[in-house]
Amino acid sequence: MSPSSTDATQQNPATPAHAGVISNNPFGLGLRRTLAIARNAFREAVRDRVLYNLVLFVLLLIGGAIFLGELSAGQETKIIIDLGLSAMLLFGVFIAIFVGVGLVYKEIERRTLNAILTKPIGRGQFLVGKFLGLCLTLSVNVAVMGIGVSLALIYIRRGWDPLAIRIWPAILLIYFELTIITGVALLFSTFSSPALSALLTFLVFLIGHFSGDLKGLANTSSSAAARVLLRVLYYLLPNLTTYSVITPAAHGIAPDAQSIVLATAYTVVYSVVLLAAATLVFSGRNFK
């Protein structure tokens, strides 16, 4: 049994000590079960040394801050932001994909899933818990990287730089994009092998950034069937261009409040769709 599932079952609130709470507040209990799974998914990621990527990120930023001044003719601030936020997105996507596709698969492979599901934990709660756990890991990752970029900007300016604050809305949108990728990875991992899930998730990441082209193609296609298909794909696949604000952020241009609210709403709604679909697939699977 893996340490994660052990922890999850040990912390399962469905014990006699919590019996009163169970009968009185089923929603609160469900939430606590889900959060217990999330906490253990986060612990497992930390134990798997996922956060070690931060060391690489810091080295990249330090190297960038020192050497790019020489190469960029005074444009080091822009390049540090481009480099830092792009690395944040890229590292985050790799974590979301490679950790995300293993979240469910590892539990099935080690047969720890059966032990968890014998407890009063629903499959949906299990998936949502795993999703939240990885989102928590990514939030720590993104926050530390964001602080790193802000400090690098202050170091380059040898003093306070307003960009150190202005980049944070862009960082928030990067985090939202990573949560969508996590959801996609989790969905694929419920019915596919890790390698195939990783490949499919990466393809969704690519297509998500070409979503504008899908719409453009739909508008210009001469075939009615193709137009319908492309439009369906456009609305069905995640629109990741919504979150692409790294380049404006490097010029100190932050997305407006309305864009952030819309992006937040889209992230929540799309995550719900992904988790519901994952639960649907996962509920139909037989692990005997």
Contact residues for other proteins (CB under 8 A)?
A: 68, 71-75, 78-79, 81-83, 85-86, 89-90, 177, 206, 209-210, 213, 240-241, 243-244, 246-248, 250-251, 253
Identify which of residues 74 and 159 has a Cβ nearer to other proteins in the complex. Answer: 74
CB of 180 to other proteins, least distance (A): 13
Q: Which of 174, 159, 173, 186 is nearest to 96 (CA)?
A: 186
Identify which of residues 102 and 255 has a Cβ nearer to other proteins in the complex. Answer: 255
Q: Residue type for 283, please? A: S
H or E element: which one contains 126?
helix 123-157
287 by DSSP, 3-state: which?
A: coil
CB of 240 to other proteins, least distance (A): 7
Identify which of residues 194 and 208 has a Cβ nearer to other proteins in the complex. Answer: 208
Q: Are 114 and 53 within 8 A, CB to CB?
A: no
CB of 152 to other proteins, least distance (A): 15
CA distances from 12 to 29, 38, 128, 288 (A): 10, 12, 15, 23
CB of 176 to other proteins, least distance (A): 12
Cβ neighbors of 216 (< 8 A, separation 6 or more) are none
Identify which of residues 37 and 246 has a Cβ nearer to other proteins in the complex. Answer: 246
CB of 75 to other proteins, least distance (A): 5
Identify which of residues 230 and 246 has a Cβ nearer to other proteins in the complex. Answer: 246
Instruction: Identify the DSSP state of 74.
Output: S
